[in-house]
Amino acid sequence: MPDHHARRRFLATGGAATVLTAGHLLFGPALTGPDGAAAAVRAYGGGPLPHGLFTLGVASGDPLPGGFVLWTRLAPRPLDGGGMPDRPVPVRWQVAEDERFRQIRAQGVELARPERGHAVHAEIGGLRPDREYFYRFRAGEEVSPVGRSRTAPRPGQANRHLRFAFASCQNWQDGYFTAYHHLAQEDLAFVAFLGDYIYESVPRTTTVRTHEGDDEPYTLADYRNRHAQYKTDPELQAAHAAFPWIATWDDHEVDNNWADDIPQDPAQQPPDAFLARRAAAFQAYYEHLPLRGSARPRGIDLRLHRRLGFGRLATLHVLDTRQYRSDQPATLAEAEDPARTMTGPEQEEWLVKGMSEADTRWNLLANQVMWASNDRMAGPQQVFDFDNWDGYRAQRRRLLDFFGSGRTANPVVLTGDRHATWVCDLKPDFDDPASPVVGAEITGTSISSGGDSDPVAFHRVYDPIMAESPHWKYIGNRRGYVVCDVTPARLLASLQVVSTVWQPGETTMVTAARFQVEAGRPGISVVDRLPWEEEQRTIDRAPRRHDVDDDQF
């Protein structure tokens, strides 16, 4: 469990907002002594560096029992290619047990290289499991803000509690990242981010904020600038600095609804042009997220699906449902094609094998698009979004049959994408009332995508469909994130929603509902909830006059 006292101290002293201070004062004389850092400075020192190197903040990710990944990127002119000289720059990092860095436990040097956007990925090892640490960087005479991270429990550790959050869909133009102000103050072991870290849409002046540039990103320079713009958000920086993140992507990191080597609009993007765009997007994604070297892109390939363990309590299986998928079908008949795949056969085999062999109480899937059947029209006619698992029905049925086979323990799918909250039972056949419940899915809402919601319109559309969909247990469309408290007996998920994303600064946050999955009993139930009318009265109302980029609720 997190150290609550240290967590409060970290917040009280500013956390990610720590003022930059001269490196000699913070890092001490060891930095200029006869060590690797001094050698690196001599080899690559060159001329003086620009000022304001750490404009994009710091982050950590992919926690293991012995360590985690540290990230930063040197970018004094973040929206203009970064603004760094065309040479490698040595960056010193330190990890300590205290935020004053009196108990240093690891330190080293990484080169921020121009061909990698002067991003730094330092893979830290040799730390103690299930423990809080603090970290910082130095380049030239500047020192970064301080970040906080945490190692995972060791394999086989009989841990009794795991608390984490998951979030997704942060469209810069649709709203401010006000939910992260509250997320950064939680006590969490990690944050799972489930996709749409950036949006590739064109700049619009009618939205809350405007994307940089004058078009969608296509080149590496374009994607670097778009990622850098998002990274300048202070609330996003604070959330990264507060916890390790475990990130995966969905579509907007590259192109809306892309599928493997197929763009959204093949007539406008020839194959060679789209593959070049995909490679550029992959490179910029890696440069801006705290990912391990095993995820470093190689052309049009980037291995993002991976597995992380948290003692004997939980295994997190991180999926990639974009890079290997078949193209979206056009009809229900095509959606039933057994050859159609969301994950590709190798990743499906990896998932089944890993869930079968996981020696943990819970199997959690960090997933992008919705598994549960989601009709979009009330009445006998059925309308589906085939970009979701509704378009890949044979594979979905195969995997849900596996969930119910007894070969894996307590599967819970954590999903993004929908810009709304859907809490559902999972069944191999959603059209058969006799089909058994084999798992649970919590589809979380967005951080900002979709802008401030209209609950009246949302419930007018979806409440009649919910009456025809017994596997739906809860729906809602306010912005926020989900916190999960996991014990051997149950997973308790709390939906945290904010009053507005159309105004910057502090906002009201309420717990809109809580949901529970009991170990050994597939399915999910609503523990308590605010009726949406009461929720609307409880939180502050925001103006409704802004356009948004997406027509989803």
Same domain, residue pair 167 and 145: no
Handedness of CA 111, 117, 123, 129 (dihedral sign): positive
For residue 14, tell me if it sits in a domain.
no
For residue 309, tell me if it sits in a domain.
yes
Beta bridge partners of 190: 164
For residue 86, tell me if it sits in a domain.
yes
Same domain, residue pair 130 and 236: no
For residue 385, tell me if it sits in a domain.
yes
Interatomic CA distance for residues 139 and 75, integer angstroms: 11
**CATH number of the domain where residue 143 is located:** 2.60.40.380
Same domain, residue pair 417 and 441: yes
Same domain, residue pair 338 and 358: yes
Look at residue 535 in the predicted model and tell me its pLDDT: 72
Single residue among 152, 183, 208 that ends a domain in this structure: 152
Same domain, residue pair 273 and 318: yes
Interatomic CA distance for residues 260 and 252, integer angstroms: 13
For residue 6, tell me if it sits in a domain.
no
Look at residue 19 in the predicted model and tell me its pLDDT: 31
Single residue among 152, 173, 197 that ends a domain in this structure: 152
Look at residue 40 in the predicted model and tell me its pLDDT: 52
Same domain, residue pair 266 and 209: yes
Q: How many domains are there within the chain?
A: 2
Task: Decide: helix, strand or coil at residue 334.
Answer: helix
CB 517 within 8 A of CB 410: yes
Beta bridge partners of 380: none
pLDDT in tens, 480-533: 999 999 999 999 999 999 999 999 988 999 999 999 999 999 999 999 998 877
**Cα–Cα nearest to 115, from 88, 75, 78, 80:** 88
Look at residue 519 in the predicted model and tell me its pLDDT: 98
Same domain, residue pair 197 and 122: no
Same domain, residue pair 336 and 267: yes
**CATH number of the domain where residue 526 is located:** 3.60.21.70
For residue 407, tell me if it sits in a domain.
yes
Regions of the chain with pLDDT less than 50 = 1-2, 8, 12-13, 15-26, 29-37, 542-546, 548, 550-553
Tokens describing residue 422? 């859907």
CB 37 within 8 A of CB 109: yes
One-letter amino acid for residue 548 of the chain? V
Same domain, residue pair 282 and 324: yes
Beta bridge partners of 478: none
Identify the domain containing residue 129 by its residue range: 48-152
Interatomic CA distance for residues 285 and 260, integer angstroms: 16
Interatomic CA distance for residues 354 and 220, integer angstroms: 34
What is each CA distance from 209 to 130, 286, 348, 398, 507, in whole angstroms? 39, 25, 39, 43, 18
Look at residue 534 in the predicted model and tell me its pLDDT: 76
Half-sphere exposure of 438 (CA within 13 A, CB side): 22
Same domain, residue pair 294 and 170: yes
Could you say which DSSP state residue 19 is in?
A: P
Single residue among 118, 152, 186 that ends a domain in this structure: 152
Look at residue 23 in the predicted model and tell me its pLDDT: 39
φ/ψ of 492, rounded to 5, equals: -110, 120
Same domain, residue pair 81 and 203: no
Same domain, residue pair 129 and 274: no
Q: Strands 142-143 and 490-498, how do they pair? A: unpaired
For residue 312, tell me if it sits in a domain.
yes
Residue labelled with tokens 């913070």: 26
For residue 547, tell me if it sits in a domain.
no
Interatomic CA distance for residues 179 and 498, integer angstroms: 6
pLDDT in tens, 359-384: 999 999 999 999 999 999 999 999 99
Could you say which DSSP state residue 369 is in?
A: S
